[in-house]
Structure 1
Amino acid sequence: MSWKTAYRSFYYEHAEPPEDIELQPQSTALLVIDIQNTYLEVPENPIEAARWQPFFERMNKTVIPNTARLIEDARARGVEVIFARIACLKDDGRDRSLSQKKPGFNYLLLPKDRPDSQVVDPLQPQADEITVLKTTDSALTGTNLRLILHNMGIKDVVVAGIFTDQCVSSTVRSLADESFGVVVVEDACAAATDQLHHHELEIINMIYCHVVKSDELAEFWRP
């Protein structure tokens, strides 16, 4: 199934196929969201470890390898590669947003210099590639990324990362509200479950972004 007909929600079930996507390397950025060491740590509780096993498999076998290929291709094309990671500036996390202080899964205390807050080794930033630190779900809301993108003349953003239904979705919506063109690479993203992943892609597709697969992205680039 083509990206033009996949991931249709009720709103767009019978809509005409979208126009072809055209990406100019000099005005496009690849944004890699929250693929950090902490999310690959297997829980000590065996029940929780079993519950999360499908996520770990998707990350290690699909998301990280595909994102690595996206990064390599972007660098070769001269496309700006930008990383966003959850990382508080204070060791006690006082600077975190309320959503990251609430009890439960979304409680995140990741001081910026701690190993578990770093980008995973296969995707490490190089040279002068930008990394923004965020204490919010959206990479735009809690950072100066909006200004950075505008200053560099970026008009389109290709998005990879986790979690599809949380930080990816929040960032995509913020980007769309700021009138950036957004492309989400489906097989370079993951949620805790495939059901959550696919459901969120249906929600954001066509309204806030276009959802594509990594092997479809190559056809969008223009000289």
Structure 2
Amino acid sequence: MGWKTDWRSFYYETAEEPADIALDPGKTALLCIDLQNTYLEVPDDPAEAARWAPFHDRMRDTVLPNTRGLQDWARAQGIEVIHARIACLKKDGRDRSLSQKKPGFNYLLLPKDRADSRIADAVGPMADEIVVTKTTDSALTGTNLRMVLSNMGIGRVICAGIFTDQCVSSTVRSLADESFEVLVVEDCCAAATTELHEHELRVINMIYCHVLSMAEVMALPRGRG
């Protein structure tokens, strides 16, 4: 068991094991996606609070502490830490993508300067770390992130954040389409439910990224690759 055989969908059940991965710190970035205050707020309605309790438990007990540990590790390795958050530039949200204007859960009106749109302090940026603000799911769509990564010579992106089946997945697919090598850290991500989280990891694994645990990422050898 391990990242080479775990998280396989039907498409890759019989595929050969992928090659070993060696991290070149100068060509690698850690991208932390949408770890914002708004998603850590417990709903006022008791029924909704109970419905979302497993997600909030995972965020508190697993995702936030693991992500902070991953960030600290990356900084120590010389791996660039980059942050993405979803927010609108206009107070009325006119600049949002259509998907963020539709009714339901995905309806987001998060003006960029409001407290709930900010990245949670526990996993926030340090020093001159880059923060990109997006108005849709993918951190590449409508931002200059692709150009920034290319300018810095980044070829591999390690992804953490929320939601696995929405903004993380959209970002991973965009990165893969732009020919970046992508790693997704499964225990630094969450979806609303475990079922959604695990299903999406199997969908994106092997074709758009490789899914690893935090421990597996940290254990990868350094070098060219």
TM-score range, shorter chain: over 0.9
Kindly report which structure 2 residues correspond to 1:34-45, keeping only aligned pairs within 5 A, or say none: 34-45=34-45
1:190 paired residue number: 190
SS at match of 1:30: strand
CA distance in 1, matches of 2:195, 2:45: 23
- Residue 139 of structure 2 aligns with which residue? 139
Query: What stretches of structure 2 of length at least 5 have no aligned partner?
Result: none
SS in 2 for 1:32: strand
Contact 1:25 1:221 in 2 (8 A): no
TM-aligned CA deviation for residue 94 of structure 1: 0.4
CA distance in structure 1 between the aligned counterparts of 2:73 and 2:90, rounded to whole angstroms: 35
| Percent identity of paired positions between Structure 1 and Structure 2 | 71
Distance 2:167 2:197 in 1: 12
The answer as to whether partners of 1:37 and 1:119 remain within 8 angstroms in 2 is yes
Instruction: Mark the runs of 5 or more structure 1 residues left unpaired by the alignment.
Output: none
C-alpha separation in 2, matches of 1:218 and 1:120: 23
What residue number does 2:94 align with?
Answer: 94
Residue 214 of structure 2 corresponds to which residue in structure 1?
A: 214
Question: Residue 142 of structure 1: CA displacement?
Answer: 1.8
Residue 39 (structure 1) shift: 0.2
How far residue 220 of structure 1 moved from its aligned partner, in angstroms, is: 1.7
The 5-angstrom pairing of residues 156-175 of structure 1 reads: 156-175=156-175
Give runs of ≥4 in structure 1 deviating > 4 Å: none
Q: CA deviation at 1:219?
A: 2.3
Match of 1:125 in 2: 125
**Which secondary structure state, in structure 2, belongs to the residue aligned with residue 136 of structure 1?**
coil
Q: How many residues matched?
A: 223
- State whether structure 2 residue 16 is matched by structure 1 residue 19: no
CA distance in structure 1 between the partners assigned to 2:212 and 2:51 by the alignment: 27
Q: How far apart are 1:29 and its partner, in Å? A: 0.2
TM-score normalized with structure 2 length:
0.98
Q: Tell me what 1:61 maps to.
A: 61
C-alpha contact 1:176 1:182 (8 A) present in aligned 2: yes
